[in-house]
Amino acid sequence: MDKFRIQGGVPLEGEIAVGGAKNSALPALAACLLTSDPVTLRRIPPVRDIGTMQQLLQHAGADLEVADGSVTVRAARLDHPEAPYDLVKTMRASSLVLGPLVARTGRARVSMPGGCAIGARPINLHVAALEQLGAEIQHSHGYVEARAPHGLKGALVHFDRITVTGTEDVLMAAVLAEGETVIHNAAREPEVQDLALLLNKMGACVEGAGTSTIRVQGVAALHGTEHTIIADRIEAGTFLIAGAITRGDLVVSGFVPEHVYALTAKLRQAGVDITAAGEGALRVRAASRLRATDITTEEFPGFATDLQAQYMALITLAEGISFISETIFENRFMHTQELARMGATIRVEGRQAIVAGVTELTGAQVIASDLRASASLVLAGLVAHGETLVDRVYHIDRGYEKIEEKLARAGARIERII
């Protein structure tokens, strides 16, 4: 099992370019199931979850061509509209194919999603919304089975709470439904906006993406197109924190700075110097010890839950006491025990972590429990005194493309060992 070996204490310098967004590429790939025409997607990150989704599309009957960061999907026939457990047990995004498959073929059978053990990820919101569109849903042996033999019908959908994958799933189903669908309390994430842009390029009629109300006028069929995936704002945020935690002078480029505004606002509050470094790039510097700051995770445009663990690694070294409140997932503090092994002082009380800043972290053997937790341990290792070994880095491979190589090019002493 692969590990990262890190010798800490080296400030990061130079430039790191951000890759395509995994959380945008996954629904975009699922959207390719909505047409029999070829769809070409560019800036697809070659991470583990993407490979799993590509296998899922091939299992359903689609043909794929993968080359130089682009993927062309031809879903002319979908003889197996299902997502079997053996394929998707490691990926929570499997539910994204439920809407497209039932909209396109009138039936779908999708295994309940897996992925990181960071809390419940129920798809009851997806299911209830699809039922409002006319799908007949059954739960059997760990699978969700949906049928709409006479097609889907537009409807008014109101989510009881904001759900990104639920919004994306229903959005993809609605584009082929008869009539108008209005989605209230929709997720506003950039990834949802990117999906809507792709769908409109394919001939859909989607308005309001990026707001809490999305309107969809159903069409009879979609056609092929080409589309470039947006940059990964979580990867960008991770590297911005990496520059700050190592007290470096690092430029992070190739993304949309507005997508990480909640993070950069908190970094500045903590004493990090962040300036523009050209279009789509930010320069991060942190010469002195940081100040304690509190964060509360929220849906976009609030502070992203996917950056909470990385920010906690940073704030373990801040002067004073910080309060981190996690409102999205109830079990997203598993990294705290591993950070404590490195010398951090953290107390968890329910959905709040209380972090008392220390002057130094020390290298240790630690185990990654999920995707973003593994990133936080890598960041801690970059600044810790001595050697850190991060085990189970297959978690980080699910969402980061060769993170060790990108960090090494900026001066980090990090290597992958088997």
Q: What is the DSSP string of 177-210?
A: SBSEEEEES----HHHHHHHHHHHHTT-EEE-BT
Does residue 31 contact residue 206 with C-beta atoms inside 8 Å?
no
Q: Where are the alpha helices (DSSP H) in 72-145?
A: 85-88, 98-105, 124-132
Q: What is the Rg, in whole angstroms, of the alpha carbon atoms belonging to the chain?
A: 21
Determine whether 205 is an active site residue: no
Pairing relationship of beta strands 143-147 and 107-111 according to DSSP bridges: antiparallel
Task: Give the separation between CA 202 and CA 379, rounded to whole angstroms.
Answer: 40
Which residue from 317, 318, 308 is spatially nearest to 361, judged by alpha carbons?
Answer: 317
> What phi-psi label fits residue 405: left (phi over 0), alpha (psi between -120 and 50 degrees) or beta?
alpha
Of 322, 353, 323, nearest to 337 by C-alpha is 353
Query: Given 75, 83, 103, 116, which residue is catalytic?
Result: 116
Reported as type and span, the H/E element at residue 22 is: helix 22-31
Which residues participate in catalysis according to the annotation?
Answer: 116
